Structures are given as structure tokens and as C-alpha cells.
């Protein structure tokens, strides 16, 4: 198993891409800490992991945009497992709203969770990795809007573009400590958020799939595999990069 004897903390681990990554990392031998604002979702993932893998699991309720919650959950993880080898920043929210009248409160909420939360966890966990002196892996989840504009996504685009650049800065600063910091930009992945956008008519599946050369929307498993690669020793010489996993969406300038 590629992550045997590793300890992984995954924010947003209660559902969607975060849950998919947590399950796959547990299958690959890692013990996992799942962080989310919703304990019911965490318990559901904990039950799946315990029933289907030999991994140990710790679930922690917390708000990624709260420095106090971040420090509390990181301290609890260290208290139980002694270290954190892998951090995956997956907690996030999306918002579709015309920029001309986007409420400032909504702007702040998206930035606080997506960008501030990533910064806070990178800082808190990175500090423990540096102090331990054994290196580590950090994976941040960005988005297609880190690379290209989509209408009505000003707050989301700003937050995820910030995460992409933040990834490069941490990678540069922490390379001397053998900490690799990378990000993954998922394409249109079938998650609760995407399903909600489809139900509201914000996303139109037939239009989306027509633009994707792979001919389908992605599943969370399509992101979990690349995450395991970036968390494993196979990526020890990979840092500061963003891996685009979108079925070819961004390459397609024809449609």
C-alpha cells in the first residue's frame, strides 16, 4: 500500500471530493483525520472507512476559517497520532452570483472558507512538519476557475486563484524542509455542490459534457487517485505544481 504508516488530515472530509480522497487514502494504508463542520457527515465516512479498511479514524468537527478551531483540531490530531504526514485542504464552498451585485458578506464567506481556511491549515500543519523535521505532503484543492473564467464566479475564482498561488509560495518556502506542496484543479466532478447547481439550472450537463473531450463528468475517484500520487513518495520531486484533472476541458478551445 502506497501510504502505509502515514497519517493524513483531510478537511472537508465529510462528503464529496474530500470524502473520496479520505476513503482512498485509508485504502492505501493511511490513518486519517477527517475535519468538517457537520458531524453527521463525518460519522458516515468514519463508519465506511472502519468497515472497509484497517485504517484508524479520528473525526473532528470544526470551522476551517476559525483559527481557534484549526489549532484545536490540529492539536487533537497530534495528540492522538503524534504527527501529521499528509494534509489535504478540501473544505470549500461555491457560489454563483452576478458580480455587479454580489453581496460583500457572500464574498467574505467564500474567501474565508476557501482561501483563509487553506492558509490556516497549511500554516498550522506546516509548522508541525517543520518542527518534526521529517518532511511532509500538502495538497490543496483548487479549481478550473484558477485557470479560466466562468461567469458569476467572482468570489469563488478569487478564492481558488489565491489557493493556487498560495500553494506555490508555501512550496517555495518549505522545499528546504522536504515538504512538498501541490494542488489539484478538478474539472466538473459529480459532487453535492455540482448536483445542486444542476438542479438549479446553473450547470447544464449536456453543455458541460459537450466541452469535455473525455465525454463525461468526473467522479470523486478521479481526484482521489492523483491525490494519492501527490501524497506518496512517488512525488518527492514534485512541488509547487497544479495538477489539472478535468477530462481535457481546459484544452478544448473548439466548442
* Measured distance CA(178)–CA(184) in Å, rounded: 20
The torsion angle over the Cα atoms of residues 66, 68, 69 and 70, rounded to 10 degrees, is 80
Can you spell out the DSSP letters for the chain? -TTTT-EEEEETTTSHHHHHHHHHHHHTT-EEEEEES-HHHHHHHHHHHHHHSS--EEEEE--TT-HHHHHHHHHHHHHHHS---EEEE---------GGG--HHHHHHHHIIIIIHHHHHHHHHHHHHHHHTS-EEEEEE--GGGTS--TT-HHHHHHHHHHHHHHHHHHHHHGGGTEEEEEEEE-SB-SHHHHHHHHTTSS-HHHHHHH-TTSS-B-HHHHHHHHHHHHSGGGTT--S-EEEESTTGGG----
**Is there a contact between 152 and 158 (Cβ–Cβ < 8 Å)?**
no
Our answer to whether residue 254 is catalytic in this structure is no
Pick the catalytic residue from 121, 156, 177, 254.
Answer: 156
Going by C-alpha positions, the residue among 9, 63, 76 that lies closest to residue 36 is 63
Annotated catalytic residues are 156
Amino acid at each position: 500500500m502506497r501510504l502505509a504508516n502515514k497519517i493524513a488530515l483531510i478537511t472537508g472530509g465529510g462528503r464529496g471530493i474530500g470524502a473520496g480522497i479520505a476513503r482512498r487514502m485509508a485504502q492505501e494504508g493511511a490513518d486519517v483525520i477527517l475535519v468538517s463542520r457537520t458531524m453527521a457527515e463525518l460519522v458516515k465516512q468514519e463508519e465506511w472507512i472502519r468497515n472497509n479498511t484497517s485504517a484508524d479514524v479520528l473525526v473532528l468537527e470544526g470551522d476551517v476559517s476559525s483559527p481557534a478551531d484549526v489549532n484545536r483540531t490540529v492539536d487533537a490530531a497530534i495528540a492522538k497520532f503524534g504527527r501529521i504526514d499528509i494534509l489535504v485542504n478540501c473544505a470549500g464552498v461555491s457560489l454563483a452570483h452576478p458580480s455587479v451585485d454580489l453581496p460583500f458578506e457572500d464574498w467574505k464567506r467564500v474567501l474565508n472558507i476557501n482561501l483563509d481556511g487553506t492558509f490556516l491549515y497549511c500554516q498550522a500543519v506546516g509548522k508541525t512538519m517543520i518542527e518534526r523535521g521529517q518532511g511532509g505532503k500538502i495538497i490543496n484543492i483548487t479549481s478550473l476557475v484558477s485557470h479560466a473564467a466562468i461567469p458569476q464566479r467572482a468570489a469563488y475564482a478569487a478564492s481558488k486563484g489565491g489557493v493556487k498561488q498560495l500553494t506555490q509560495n508555501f512550496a517555495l518556502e518549505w522545499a528546504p524542509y522536504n515538504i512538498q506542496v501541490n494542488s489539484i484543479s478538478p474539472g466538473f466532478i459529480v459532487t453535492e455542490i455540482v448536483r445542486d447547481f444542476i438542479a438549479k439550472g446553473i450547470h447544464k450537463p449536456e453543455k458541460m459534457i459537450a466541452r469535455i473531450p473525455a465525454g463525461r463528468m468526473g467522479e470523486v475517484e478521479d481526484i482521489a487517485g492523483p491525490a494519492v500520487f501527490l501524497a506518496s513518495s512517488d512525488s518527492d520531486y514534485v512541488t509547487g505544481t497544479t495538477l489539472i484533472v478535468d477530462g481535457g476541458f481546459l484544452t478544448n478551445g473548439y466548442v
